[in-house]
A = this chain, B = another copy of it.
């Protein structure tokens, strides 16, 4: 499919005619509408190691000549292009693919040319079919063959010499036509094609390649200060370590910690975000910085930097990455406030501007002024914060509110980090308008929070997941589905009880290859809001130390663990490339499937969306999407219960119960034994 080839001279990309200035007529081939290509090549697409990039383009020239072409690609560390032959589809659309195997950046482009030999060969066949004399035609064709000799490999060149000789003889017309119409000469002539007038696509496009966890990850957010075995006591990194087996058993592979830095005391918020706090209130971890240090320090009650490093290493032994929360804002006590007052906004009365979203005020936080004339020093320092934690073993960052910092800052910062650490994963917490959310992804964030938490009806879920995974958005936007966060307890969760937590978990874990929960509030189905109409938790862990009973009998721990096990065992769930929705005749039953590129693993999911009533209905499966023939019997193996059903066709009966069986997660096995498997049928 592909071969390495050095191209020294760059072919024409110029398409505008300039008869006065150039001697050769302008190139004739048009290459356009390349896909994938984001905003005219302004942004790279994204892949993870082992994935393929399928590239399509419209390629054509005027008239009826035969074209040929290649997809060009190379890793940034290589100077020569690899080539993959383009195959024509229909309607002047061409396609080829390549597989990315290395971290970092790949480049790709396309090259196409008119092949006069192929054109001549096609017409020769038509002439022969029409019974025309082709003697003179063979002389014309011999010119192409002779010209190719010097471009061909030595053994191929020998063949071409023989062919040309045969074409010149009037005695061997029949032999010559058989030769030039044969497959071997076709192969040799295509390999030795005259590419002197080839057209290179005007842009070089890019792919950034990250490790597999950028595509397939299972996040668990946990407040380290709430991990002590003793109620009321401040948890430590050592306590976090003890929690690792619990998380590993449930199948999580990223443990995300809210900010672990010293917490300010000035204007510290009390329980439930109270403006006044009691002396023993621990404050919000997002009010970063105190006399104990800032973004490069750890809160003393959690332990030391060494303790943190120990936690990182211990987690690694479970296959768990520690993800840190990077929130670029400062408590009034942060060292930066004194050291770099120029990084903050001064009000006309001389005070520093605290954060606000009028009329709301966040008096415990100073925002950073990215427009400061001293921005260059500021940016460099913020980059150093990332590098500091990378030095301490962290490779995954959840970035707080990136949409309130300049786009150009993120593009620069992520680019800088990737130069040395192409395996770092950035999760954008940009709960903002859709175009800003997408822009951050284009600029380099690997993953992003989404509006999933507020998509609850069948129509909403179907429409949204389709937008994210089946439009060009998927080329740059890595969806991460979170049913809850410390800030988001949706009405569906507040009202739906424990079944709501099961249903939303099943959806997040199977619709999106990246998902996460904020626990242990999740597995314990904590659902009391601060007040009616609010999505904040009552007595939120953001302002208090909690003690959770992980062994509570109602815990969803086994349910979550089982679904994560199914995720881990089934490659279909490791990406979103092939997510297809299927109809059912009951609006409260959502049905969708995922599969691998080669159909070797096919998962079909049914989830009931109503938290209160059992529902049954009939599916109307899109069998094409499942790779199943209408008359083919197949097995639906429910990975949740172990039950196996024998099905045929689109219409199959489904029954679900919000608390007992909120979801079927079927693995479809297309091969079912029949009498034809017996020896006497063979």
Residues of A within 8 A of B (CB): 15-17, 19-20, 25-28, 30, 32-33, 39-40, 58, 60-64, 91-92, 123, 126-127, 129-130, 132, 136, 139-140, 143, 347-349, 357-359, 370-371, 375-376, 379-380, 402-409, 411-412, 433-436, 439
Contacts and interface: CB of A to CB of B under 8 A. Distances in A.
Given A19-B379, A62-B405, A140 B347 contact: yes
A88 to B, nearest CB: 12
Contact of A376 (B19, B123, B403): B19
Contacts of A404: 62-64
B348 A140 contact: yes
B62 A403 contact: yes
Most buried by B among A143, A349, A405, A408: A408
A358 B406 contact: no
Given A62-B403, A348-B140, A371-B25, A433 B92 contact: yes
A436 B39 contact: no
A311 B130 CA distance: 46
A129 B359 contact: yes
Contacts of A405: 62-63
A348 B139 contact: yes
B375 A19 contact: yes
Contacts of A143: 348
A528 B106 CA distance: 61
Contact of A436 (B17, B19, B60, B433): B60
B16 A349 contact: no
A347 B26 contact: no
Given A30-B439, A348-B136, A406-B28, A126 B359 contact: yes
Nearest to A41: B40
- Which are the 6 A-B pairs with shortest beta-carbon distances? A130-B359, A17-B412, A26-B408, A40-B40, A17-B408, A139-B348
A136 B349 contact: yes
Contacts of A136: 347-349
Given A130-B358, A408-B15, A32 B39 contact: yes
24 contacts: A15-B408, A15-B411, A17-B409, A17-B412, A19-B412, A25-B371, A26-B408, A27-B408, A30-B407, A30-B439, A58-B435, A60-B435, A60-B436, A61-B407, A62-B403, A62-B406, A63-B405, A64-B357, A64-B404, A91-B433, A92-B435, A123-B358, A130-B358, A130-B359
Contacts of A63: 403-405
A290 to B, nearest CB: 27
A139 to B, nearest CB: 4
Contacts of A140: 347-348
Most buried by B among A61, A63, A357: A63
Contacts of A132: 359
Given A15-B411, A130-B359, A139-B349, 20 more contacts: A15-B408, A17-B412, A19-B375, A19-B376, A25-B370, A25-B375, A25-B408, A30-B407, A30-B439, A32-B39, A58-B435, A62-B402, A62-B403, A63-B403, A91-B435, A92-B433, A92-B436, A127-B358, A132-B359, A136-B347
A33 B433 CA distance: 16
Nearest to A383: B19
A412 B19 CA distance: 8
A612 to B, nearest CB: 34
A126 B358 contact: yes
Nearest to A22: B376
Contacts of A412: 17, 19
Contacts of A347: 136, 140
Contacts of A16: 408, 411
Contacts of A15: 407-408, 411
Contacts of A30: 407, 439
Contacts of A64: 357, 404
A408 B58 CA distance: 17
Contacts of A376: 19-20
Nearest to A29: B407
A453 B91 CA distance: 20
Contacts of A91: 433-435
A22 to B, nearest CB: 9
Contacts of A92: 433, 435-436
Contacts of A17: 408-409, 411-412
Contacts of A371: 25
Contacts of A40: 40
Nearest to A124: B358
A132 B19 CA distance: 70
A172 to B, nearest CB: 17
Contacts of A402: 62
Contacts of A139: 348-349
A556 to B, nearest CB: 36
